[in-house]
Structure 1
């Protein structure tokens, strides 16, 4: 059997690998070893599995395995391939980095039967039908009948075609076809490699690499023809890829200095690749609220999204580099999120973007600069946000990913035609870069790993950060509780394969819940833990439904009275019997207190809150656009400027805490009015503050992952 493995053809019966004029002979052990990897494409194969399947012994010396792997990797090394074809996964095993293709005569010449119409074109039946038609002349008296039937059939076919075109153009009745993709890893640096961007001529791939431990962003550009790669730096800053300048060999970077809270958009000339040209400052940016950006072909305008006011969402803006003047292209929608991920078409005549609204499926729109017409090209079915879309060549359409569904949308002035493929093996892209109508690069969703961190003396001279209950899968949303055995921590973890509630106490960790989920995608379906002031009950959300966990009875109780309500934020009241929540009604928010025993509700008037928080004693606070208000006595404090744009909050008796969820955490002294600010080496996603100002963080760090190229045949 012959296989194509990256640049090599593997001819197993001859024990050789060949590539153009190269031929290398493999010894029998290496042949068996390579065949085993061929049968496990892009799967991590453990050393024990190799011992059992290749050596077929109960024990093999580690040095023998090391020598065999080293020799096979050496034989597979190719002059034109920078990345190794055999990858070592520390303490896990080894894997082939490409998907081998079986080379047989049948796979080349055989035409698959894809549909009923294909299978109906059997040559034997066709010949028989022709012979019968010729041998039996049609009687003259039946000619009119035959013509009538023919016209009827043609009319029916035309009607069906018209209906198909009509519904397809409206995006309705979309037929999803299953397609198997070929997957090849395209990047090999250590770290999380994300956000692929292809130059307009498809010759260069740019991407961001994030070091897993330090969360330090680096930018790389690779020439696809020979895999030559360069790193782009900007002194004093870490850099990440934004986009390629339209139809130019210049890449736009976002350069940030987190400790100094600096952000700049920088254009780097790569026209003499691999020589890195000059870096040109395009404009200053806000690292927290400026999104994707792209420069037009002539370098006159840069298009970008930005939050001017988080509650209004983000809009699409155009910045004139000569006049140093900003103007609005697409205004903010007036709801959270808004316009994100704008991409210029190849001609520069249109721009496409994602419109995302909180709690709603996202849509992809195009905007014509000449006619100022906005057209919706795609509407998602699910509420999961994705940035995975890109233009097809010649402005003829876009490709959009929603989980493993790849939708190719082509359009003209009159029609929008959608064609959807369900990709197998399943993938979940977050960013994509389209290479052709049947090929693209992607970086996967869920790029960060969540872990629990206890911080002490965060704003002092000797801050300490202690990892808690670390597992191979995500841990998040931690609270302090008290049960019969004393104090403990309850948190959410995916260590058992899905989101479940766990308790850590006296050096032991135990699973509390055993929830079943409706589908395999169980990521973060258990969230929002809020503990009562007496530390004995926990409010949580499971699959978008509220439940109560009682530590004394060790039971879960569904809170059906909250079903169907648009609840934006919630906390416990001080009496341990009620919860306070913000409910969205139409476009307005109202604050409501619900007694869990009597189920009576009471609207708290005169509070226009966006967020509710409470301290460890149960004192409730509301956050408005510019104030912190204590509900018990309506005492208020003006929010610092940065706190008005923050999205994570906490409070203790003396301090109000807030974070940008990037790297900064600050606190306002409620007595003195002073502000302290500090930098942390992880992303503070959520946190809980204790009475002694100890902080329990859910922190996020990037995973080690690669950018993958996929291709498919239809």
Structure 2
């Protein structure tokens, strides 16, 4: 089958995953083009859903929704739609057909044409040489005009001069060509070596449950994949393993606590991971962190108890990596910076491997084969670096990361080692990239319809384990009277009003000041975008690029625009979709509140990689620190009094001399945020109780029960609450195979 063909006036190039018309090219997912190709091969015939699924997704279990998304992508690229159906026609309960002319392209002619274009200068030189040679020797040796004996004396002399001149020109051209070739060879030797081009083929799902899975890794022999599995139904998390040969699954733990990423010992006998639990007596942090180990071989027979290696009550630890059977590398954060440490199990002590005095470590990976760490860091200049460090802490190399346009300027990246020399790999969601030790990023051609994360290569290097899936949440409205009087565990679903529902995530709903609109973020178009609804219909007003993430949005006081924190940058968007990005020196991690009249905003920013809670003047970029405590959420009331929740989930308010702890709200803080309306704080505690606290009257009361699946309380007016509730959360373990 040819890799190039025409569908009507559209030129399809499978080698480039492109569809072109009138010199305008668009890149599509390989699976979508595979669907189009199979329909083209059966032009005019009805091809069933099952046939297309079997042909395009061989050996992979997918739903018809996946096929429908590919059809939608093709129709959009072809200028078709579901109603007119000029190119692709839907046959109800049967399948699809391609209803236009198909012309298959001769790939050999295409290759020759490309060769002529690429070597245009060389061909011109060769043409000139050939003309000179023909002019001297001729095609017919017996013709009178070219025979020396038939020429007049001056003609012979002129011919001799012409021949000498031609030879001179030939020598000159030969010298020029030689110089060009030497220059080209020299350039090739001096030019940086291009990284190998990764090409991935099949994506195979390994798990298919109603649970949420994460953090997949391979055992050292490559036979097992170990991952987390969280059950929404029972609210528990456990470690599981899957035998890739027999497809048998094993639950490894019998505990129900939360775990972080995990690592195998060098011999594959043990697993190490970090367990985070509430501290019995919190002092500087609410969570305590324990480094735990597990006997892997015993756990394959039955779930095993955990062995505690060490506990951190005043610092955070994460991402353990077993260096050998006695030493484990960890990231530790004691104040506001992360450092890489080496913990000795036998000595029960640690030492610093690597740290940055005026910056911080973002992420690291460890290569057992090379005995090297790869760290992504932020330095004092605010730029991102890739640093290679030996196990004894020696800096092997340090290079600034050069981000392409596909990756936002302030986006953190989390690269892991690959089987290719001096090359790492990472995902931003639906896009995959490689990162060289010199800081060069290259995009891997892998358009996906679902985000993937945590790419980790198999020991053999022929595939990698990834986590794929989506999080689905809905926006609901509920009145305060409903919560106070009628909302019970059995009647929740009947009393909630779902304002926005799709099969993707909706969140952050906020009321328009003085209007009837509600703004919210949604992933229904494939990316996180800003939408507005009037209760009758919704429309998208932002157009951010692929793999965008939004952390915070606020209405202007006049209700005519929104300030949105997208990809760590502030963008103001009006209701007609006009937008402008505010030039800020620092990345904005989270936007809490915007005062459009005073041109200030409460937010988290990152300075030299360190998170700071600030009030920023958007006119002159002046920064005022809120305080030196880590802040998880903050806002101001109508009188300008600052209310914030610290990292210990304690409520504070600003005072004349110093900030005051709101003791009436002890044990009421949670990760579900809070809102302030007319001098009253509203929040949801860990027991899913909605409460209120009147600041002036110092009056606290429990209003009623909130839904058990609530994620966030996002806004309130006089009578209604807006909340985000979890509808569905499903992530699965899969393997992505390299093309052979």
Give the match for residue 449 of structure 1: 472
Deviation, structure 1 residue 161:
1.7
Tell me, in whole angstroms, the C-alpha distance in 1 between the residues paired with 2:389 and 2:330: 14
Distance 1:607 1:115, change over 3 A: farther
2:371 corresponds to 1:349: yes
1:492 aligned partner: 521
Structure 2 SS opposite 1:578: coil
2:541 aligned residue (493, 512, 515): 515
Confirm or deny: 8 A CA contact 1:386 1:430 kept in the other structure: no
What residue in structure 2 maps to residue 528 of structure 1?
553
Within 5 A, what are the aligned runs for 1:609-620?
Answer: 613-614=634-635, 617=638, 619-620=640-641
Asked if structure 2 preserves the Cα contact closer than 8 Å seen for 1:685 and 1:700, the reply is no
- Partner of 1:135 in structure 2? none
* 2:241 equivalent in structure 1: 221
User: Alpha-carbon deviation of 1:447?
Assistant: 4.2
1:201 equivalenced with 2:221 (yes/no): yes
Return closer, same or farther for 1:225/1:154 CA change in 2, 3 Å cut-off: same
- Structure 1, residues 5-55: CA drift from partner, whole Å, max 9, x if none? xxxxxxxxxxxxxxxxxxxxxxxxxx9775343245265327999xxxxxx
Cα distance between partner residues in 2 of 1:267 and 1:275: 17
Tell me, yes or no, if structure 1 residue 432 matches structure 2 residue 455.
yes
3-state DSSP of counterpart to 1:492: strand
Distance 1:301 1:469 in 2: 53
Aligned length in residues? 586
Superimposed CA distance per residue, residues 527-583 of structure 1 (whole angstroms, 9 cap, x where no aligned partner): 412464xx956642175444376xxxx7678677x544656756355xx84343259
Taking a change above 3 Å as real, the CA distance of residues 651 and 395 of structure 1, as seen in their structure-2 partners, is farther
> Could you tell me how far apart the structure 1 residues matched to 2:709 and 2:357 are?
31
Any stretches of 5+ residues in structure 1 without a counterpart? Answer: 2-30, 50-55, 66-92, 94-109, 122-131, 133-138, 169-173
Distance 1:643 1:318 in 2: 38
Q: Deviations over 1:78-103 (max 9, x none)?
A: xxxxxxxxxxxxxxx9xxxxxxxxxx
- CA RMSD, 1 decimal: 6.1
Alpha-carbon separation, structure 1, partners of 2:211 and 2:737: 24
Distance in structure 2 (CA, Å) of the matches to 1:386 and 1:586:
14
Q: CA, structure 1 residues 663+315, in 2 after alignment: closer, same or farther (shift >3 Å)?
A: farther
* Superposition deviation, residue 471 in structure 1: 1.1
Q: How does 1:294-693 map to 2 (within 5 A)?
A: 294-298=321-325, 300-309=326-335, 312-331=336-355, 338-347=360-369, 349-355=371-377, 363-370=385-392, 372-376=394-398, 379-381=402-404, 382-383=407-408, 385=411, 389-393=415-419, 397-402=423-428, 406-408=432-434, 421-424=444-447, 428-435=451-458, 436-444=460-468, 447-452=470-475, 466=496, 468-472=498-502, 473-481=504-512, 483=514, 489-495=518-524, 499-503=529-533, 508-511=535-538, 513-515=539-541, 517=543, 519=545, 521=546, 523-524=548-549, 527-530=552-555, 532=557, 539-541=562-564, 544-547=569-572, 562-564=582-584, 566=586, 569=591, 571-572=593-594, 577-581=597-601, 591=615, 613-614=634-635, 617=638, 619-621=640-642, 636-638=659-661, 650-651=675-676, 653=679, 684=711, 687-688=714-715
Query: Deviation at 1:306?
Result: 3.7
Distance 1:616 1:196, change over 3 A: same
Q: Do 1:471 and 1:495's aligned partners in 2 also have CA atoms closer than 8 Å?
A: no
Q: Report the 3-state secondary structure (helix = DSSP H, G, I; strand = E; otherwise coil) of the residue aligned with 2:730.
A: coil
Alpha-carbon distance change, 145 to 475 in structure 1, aligned in 2, over 3 angstroms? closer
Which deviations, in whole Å up to 9, do the C-alpha atoms of 1:580-631 show, x marking residues without a partner?
A: 325979779874567xxxx899987997798784356453416598997756
- In structure 2, the CA distance between the partners of 1:410 and 1:556, relative to structure 1 (3 Å rule), is closer
Q: 1:633 to 1:529 in 2, by over 3 A?
A: same
> In structure 1, how many angstroms separate the alpha carbons of the residues matched to 2:113 and 2:343?
51
Q: Determine helix, strand or coil for the equivalent of 1:162.
A: helix
Q: Matches of 1:268 and 1:240 in 2, distance apart?
A: 14
Residues in 1 aligned to 2:321 and 2:689: alpha-carbon distance in whole angstroms: 27
Give the whole-Å Cα distance in 1 for the aligned partners of 2:341 and 2:669.
Answer: 22
Gaps of 5+ in 2: 2-46, 69-88, 96-107, 120-129, 131-163, 281-286
**Is it true that 1:35 corresponds to 2:51 in the alignment?**
yes
CA deviation profile, 1:640-698 (whole Å, cap 9, x unmatched) = 999999895655646596999x999999997889999x999658466446689x86444
How far apart are the structure 1 equivalents of 2:425 and 2:318?
A: 20
Residues 307-345 of structure 1 deviation map (CA, whole Å, 9 limit, x = unaligned): 333xx243323333234334333336666xx43443321
Distance 1:339 1:708 in 2: 29
Contact 2:711 2:726 in 1 (8 A): yes
| Alpha carbons of structure 1 residues 32 and 667: separation in structure 2 relative to 1, 3 Å | closer
- Following superposition, the deviation at residue 230 of structure 1 comes to 0.9
Give yes or no for the alignment of 1:45 onto 2:64. Answer: yes
| Partner Cα separation in structure 1 for residue 385 and residue 177 of structure 2 | 44
TM-score, with structure 2 as normaliser: 0.60
Equivalent-residue separation in structure 2 for 1:115 and 1:405 (angstroms): 32
Q: Distance in 2 between matches of 1:379 and 1:327?
A: 32
CA contact (8 A) 2:709 2:726 kept: yes
Secondary structure class of the residue paired with 1:200: coil
8 Å CA contact retained: 1:591, 1:604 = yes
Q: For residue 39 of structure 2, what is the aligned residue in structure 1?
A: none
State the SS of the aligned residue for 2:307: strand
The structural deviation recorded for 1:432 is 1.0
Computing the radius of gyration from Cα coordinates, the structure with the larger value is: 2
Flag the 1:514–1:214 CA change in 2: closer, same or farther, 3 A: same
Counterpart for residue 712 of structure 1: 738
Query: In structure 2, the residue corresponding to 1:155 is in which secondary structure?
Result: helix
Match of 2:251 among 231, 236, 241: 231
